[in-house]
Chain A
Amino acid sequence: EVQLLDSGGGLIHPGGSMRLSCAASGFTFRSHAMNWVRQVPGKGLEWVSSIVASGGRTFYADSVKGRFAISRDNSQNTVYLQMNTLRLDDTAIYYCTRGRYGDPKSEFDYWGQGTLVSVSS
């Protein structure tokens, strides 16, 4: 059974840093692109970042480029999102998602349960 377990969220002050983790199991992790998607509670979905299966290429939304960094450890079946210089408008539930294929341009066929990041002074 495919499982994605998101963790690392919490309350953080503006300008602070936080690292999210997503532990994957139940599939061949190194064969799939991985992504982060966020959602302000009660609002729409926003793609944040993607990393190809090998980890060799990464992609970001303009809203987080230069502040966030996605990475993966294919030996530990884990994907990370390092978030720096956090802003109030980064407050959201962050979901780890699996891409069907190795490239980010594919459907998100599995989602983690989400981890809430609250940026507040």
Chain B
Amino acid sequence: DIQLTQSPSSLSASVGDRVTITCQASHHISNFLNWYRQKPGGVPKLLIYGVSNLETGVPSRFSGHGSGTNFSFTISGLQPEDFATYFCQQYDRLPLTFGGGTKLEVK
């Protein structure tokens, strides 16, 4: 199975900050990586697919980069609704797997 290691597991920041989360895969997954945001008490929402493609309707402050085994997700200019938990997910091979999550909290 492909393991995804997300870091940090938690992060404190302020509105307007730029934050970056990383996701490292245990095997090469090409560009088959997605990012989701889950607000407190809410349902996960797809933000970025295929490493760097912004889902329709998602603000451009979100971006993704990487290839192979090392990936990153950046929010440029945090908004209040961005304080949530973020998950990476690979779809290169089954079983589909998720990273452990990064909880983004208000500083």
A residues with CB within 8 A of B? 35, 37, 44-47, 50, 59, 61-62, 95, 100, 104-109, 111-114
Q: Are A111 and B44 in contact (CB under 8 A)?
A: yes
Given A44-B100, A46-B98, A114-B43, check contact A105 B87 (CB 8 Å): no
Q: A residues within 8 A CB of B99? A: 44
Question: Which residues of B from 50 to 107 have beta carbons under 8 Å from A?
Answer: 50, 55, 87, 89, 91-101
Q: A residues within 8 A CB of B36? A: 45, 108
**Extra 12 A-B pairs, beta carbons < 8 Å, given A106-B91, A112-B43:** A44-B100, A45-B36, A47-B95, A59-B95, A105-B94, A105-B96, A107-B46, A107-B49, A108-B44, A109-B49, A111-B45, A114-B43
Chain B min CB distance to A97 (Å) = 8
B residues with CB within 8 A of A? 32, 34, 36, 43-46, 49-50, 55, 87, 89, 91-101
> What 3 pairs between A and B have smallest CB-CB spacing?
A107-B49, A47-B96, A45-B98
Q: Are A109 and B94 in contact (CB under 8 A)?
A: no
Given A95-B43, A108-B46, check contact A45 B89 (CB 8 Å): yes
A54 CA to B45 CA, complexed, in Å = 25
Chain B min CB distance to A37 (Å) = 8
Q: Which residue of A lies closest to B35 (CB)?
A: A107
Q: Are B44 and A95 in contact (CB under 8 A)?
A: yes
A108 CA to B46 CA, complexed, in Å = 7
Given A47-B96, A105-B32, A107-B49, check contact A113 B91 (CB 8 Å): no
Q: Are A62 and B91 in contact (CB under 8 A)?
A: no
Taking a contact as CB atoms closer than 8 A, the residue among B43, B45, B91, B100 that contacts A105 in the complex is: B91
